[in-house]
Amino acid sequence: MQHDILINWSPQETRVAIIEQGAVQEVHIERALERGLVGNIYAGRVQRVLPGMQSAFIDIGLERTAFLHVADLLPQIHQRFGAGRGEAEGRAPPPIERQVFEGQTLLVQVLKDPIGTKGARLTTQVSIAGRLLVFLPFDEHLGVSQKIPHPQREALRQRLQALVGQEGGGFILRTNAEDASDEELADDIAYLRKTWARIRARANTAAPPALLYEELTLVQRVLRDLATPATRSIQVDAREQFAALQAFAQEFTPQVAERLQLYRGERPIFEPFQVDEEIQRALGRRVELKSGGYLVIDQTEALTTIDVNTGAFVGARNFDDTVFRTNLEAAQAIARQLRLRNLGGIVIIDFIDMAREEHREAVLAELRKQLARDRVKTMVGGFSALGLVEMTRKRTRESLAQMLTETCPACDGRGRVRTARTVCYDILREILREARAFNPREFRIVASPTVIERFLDEESQHLAGLSDFIGKPISLQSESSMTQEQYDIVLL
């Protein structure tokens, strides 16, 4: 299915939207001050080794130390440039405390960006992505993307073997290289080897922690990763970026260069497709379905839950038909929302209960069909005994909500705040405790306008009663900068 890619560029932020059949399918955002780290290669210093967790914390120059698990650690011999994985093949990996030590310098690559309180996830199994291939400097493996049909894989592997020669290192042929010529593959191999040589040279001279290689910018990754044969056009709204992309495309992605266009419309590039409105809706919990049903999406630190509801939709024939049609539409919407919101990790879907087995199978088949279009790896299980569908979607960067929003300072992420009356009673109890411990001339309540208003109106009798009981005057002061749950009791 053909699609268009829109690039909205500004010095502080780059935004990319993929439009398919007039609807926004994916949104990618990169901010100059918050660029993602996935793919970056560092010379890091081991800060701590934790045998109990079989992991280590590595200083790569970020605010928080990064995390390296033993499963992502090649044996020490591979840390010497040029060593191959085959030298340790067939042996169980030794424990991490026998491989690394505090103060040691390691060549590491970021697998996952820091998210929330978690530091970046690292690997020493370095890989460098090109346009057609992925280079594995510490491996000898030659692989072919699983998305390429099986009959073609062996022929592609043999072609790749002939081009790689005996220089060492492994390669994985990417999906977009299925129809590439030998010349194009050879150019990509040369580019990747040259890039690796630059990384090695810098690693031998830089003092850790040091950045050795930085992943391409978002606009460059559009040409390398997002542009496919199904891409109809790539429109950029900044003349300078358009010229830079043209130069990049001519060198690395010539087959995409002719689809690059400088957007010259009078309206902002995102406006015709209402991209900004779609982003705003993607930050909400509720997603309306065309039939009248709706989804409720809740994202937590551990997992994401999606609840499907019929809403105002009433089927033309019977209730079973209504439920089935709503669930089918929901399966399509869920796959799109996962891409649009970039939701990763464990996802639990609560479809409306279906009595017929063939309906459940059809809904699962539709969900898998829609998820097959996702460029991020997904896995879907069947319906559980409780009627829930469990699935996972690989998480490599922050979700749209994590990138664009922050925890509400009033409710601290709970989504609920204590009522003004509850806060009033907390204050009355606090004053009573203070009166037993101290002997001030007067108590002053400093609180939000809603709480002060409640004291002046419905709770005035209780406030006066407490003042008589403790024998001290109680005054009120409204503070508009305070949230409803915040207050202070001043002893005068």
The H or E element containing residue 333 is helix 319-341
Closest by CA to 39, choosing from 103, 130, 144, 104, is 130
DSSP secondary structure string for all residues of 228-293: -TTEEEEEES-HHHHHHHHHHHHHH-HHHHTTEEE---SS-TTGGGTHHHHHHHHTSSEEE-TTS-
- 322 three-class SS: helix
Say if CB 345 and CB 323 are below 8 A apart.
no
pLDDT at residue 152 greater than cutoff 90: no
Q: How confident is the model at residue 169 (pLDDT cuts 50, 70, 90)?
A: confident
Rounded to an integer, what distance in angstroms lies between the CA atom of residue 481 and that of residue 362? 54
* pLDDT winner (highest mean) among 142-156, 244-258, 352-366: 352-366
Q: Both 136 and 107 in a single domain?
A: yes
Residue 409 belongs to some domain of the structure: no
- Phi then psi dihedrals of residue 277, to 5 deg: -65, -40
**What are 43-73's pLDDT values in tens digits?**
999 999 999 999 999 999 998 999 999 989 8
Domain assignment present for 278:
no
Which pTM value belongs to this model? 0.73
Q: Which of 352, 382, 412 is the last residue of a domain?
A: 382
Give the single-character DSSP code of 352. Answer: P
Say yes or no to pLDDT of 75 above 80: no
Contact 400, 344 (CB under 8 A): no
pLDDT attached to residue 462: 94
Q: What percent of the chain has pLDDT over 70?
A: 95
Task: Convert 333-357 to b/e letters by CB count within 10 Å (16 or more is b).
Answer: bbbbbbbbbbbbbebbbbbbebeee
Rounded Cα distance, 423 and 427, in Å:
6
On whether both 95 and 232 belong to a single domain, the answer is no
Q: Is the pLDDT of residue 444 over 80?
A: yes
Give the pLDDT score at 331: 96
Q: Residue 78: what pLDDT?
A: 42
Both 257 and 305 in a single domain? no
pLDDT digits 0-9 by tens, 371-387: 988 888 899 999 998 99
Establish if 413 belongs to a structural domain.
Answer: no
- Of residues 491 and 181, the one with the higher pLDDT is 491
CA distance 161 to 158: 5
Per mean pLDDT, which range of 81-85, 168-172, 328-332, 421-425 is the poorest? 81-85
From the CB of residue 331, how many other CB atoms can be counted at a distance below 10 Å? 23
Per residue in 8-32, pLDDT (tens digit) is 999 999 999 999 989 999 999 998 8
Shared domain check, 72 and 145: yes
Is residue 414 included in any domain, yes or no?
no
CATH number at residue 173: 2.40.50.140
Contact between residue 374 and residue 337 where contact means Cβ atoms under 8 Å apart = no
Instruction: Establish how many alpha carbons lie within 13 A of residue 17's alpha carbon, considering only the half-sphere containing its beta carbon.
Output: 21
Of the two residues 175 and 446, the one the predictor is more confident about is 446
Task: Extract the tokens encoding 114.
Answer: 């820091």
Largest CA distance in the chain: 95
Q: Is 83 found in the same domain as 154?
A: yes
pLDDT class for 369, splitting at 50, 70, 90?
very high
Query: Looking at the structure, do residues 198 and 75 belong to the same domain, yes or no?
Result: yes
Calculate what percentage of the chain has a pLDDT beyond 90. Answer: 60
Is residue 404 included in any domain, yes or no?
A: no
d(CA 481, CA 300): 29
- pLDDT at 80 exceeding the cut of 50: no
480 and 460 assigned to the same domain: yes
Residue span of the structural domain in which 167 resides: 41-213
- Three-class SS state of 382: strand
Average pLDDT of the chain to the nearest whole number: 88
| Cis preceding linkage at 209, omega within 30 | yes
- Looking at residues 126-153, what average pLDDT do you find? 87
Look-up of token digits 């007067």: 442
Choosing from 234, 250, 273, the residue where a domain stops is 273
Domain check: are 182 and 93 in the same one? yes
- 165 plus 312 within the same structural domain: no
Quick check: 278 and 340 in contact, CB under 8 A? yes
Is residue 52 located within the same domain as residue 169? yes
The band of 167, judged by pLDDT with boundaries at 50, 70 and 90, is confident
Q: How confident is the model at residue 315 (pLDDT cuts 50, 70, 90)?
A: low
* 408 belongs to a structural domain: no
Residue 314: pLDDT band (50, 70, 90) is low
Q: Is residue 477 scored above 90 in pLDDT?
A: yes
CATH code, domain with 483: 3.40.1260.20
Would the pLDDT of 155 be above 90? no
Question: Residue 330's closest CA among 284, 394, 287?
Answer: 287
Going by pLDDT thresholds of 50, 70 and 90, the confidence category of residue 179 is confident
Domains: count for the chain: 4
**Within a domain: 330:** yes
Q: Are 444 and 492 in contact (CB under 8 A)?
A: yes
Provide the pLDDT for residue 10: 92
Q: What would the mean pLDDT of 109-116 be, rounded to a whole number?
A: 88
Q: What pLDDT score was predicted for residue 81? A: 39
Asked if pLDDT for residue 2 goes beyond 50, the answer is yes
**Residue 26: count of CB within 10 angstroms of its CB:** 21
Three-state SS at 11: coil
Contact 364, 384 (CB under 8 A): no
| Element of type H or E holding 400 | helix 400-404
pLDDT at 242: 95
Q: Same domain for 77 and 155?
A: yes
Q: Per-residue confidence at 188, pLDDT binned at 50, 70, 90? A: confident
Domain containing 22 — which CATH number?
3.30.420.60
Residues 436 and 378 in one domain: no
Residue by residue, DSSP assigns 449-481 as HHHHHHHHTTTHHHHHHHHHHHTS-EEEEE-TT
User: In this structure, are residues 133 and 171 in contact, taking their beta carbons and an 8 Å threshold?
Assistant: yes
Cα–Cα distance for residue pair 320/140, rounded to 1 Å: 55
pLDDT number for residue 77 = 39
User: In whole angstroms, what is the distance from residue 205 CA to residue 30 CA?
Assistant: 30
- Whether 92 is covered by a domain: the verdict is yes
Three-state DSSP class for residue 482: coil
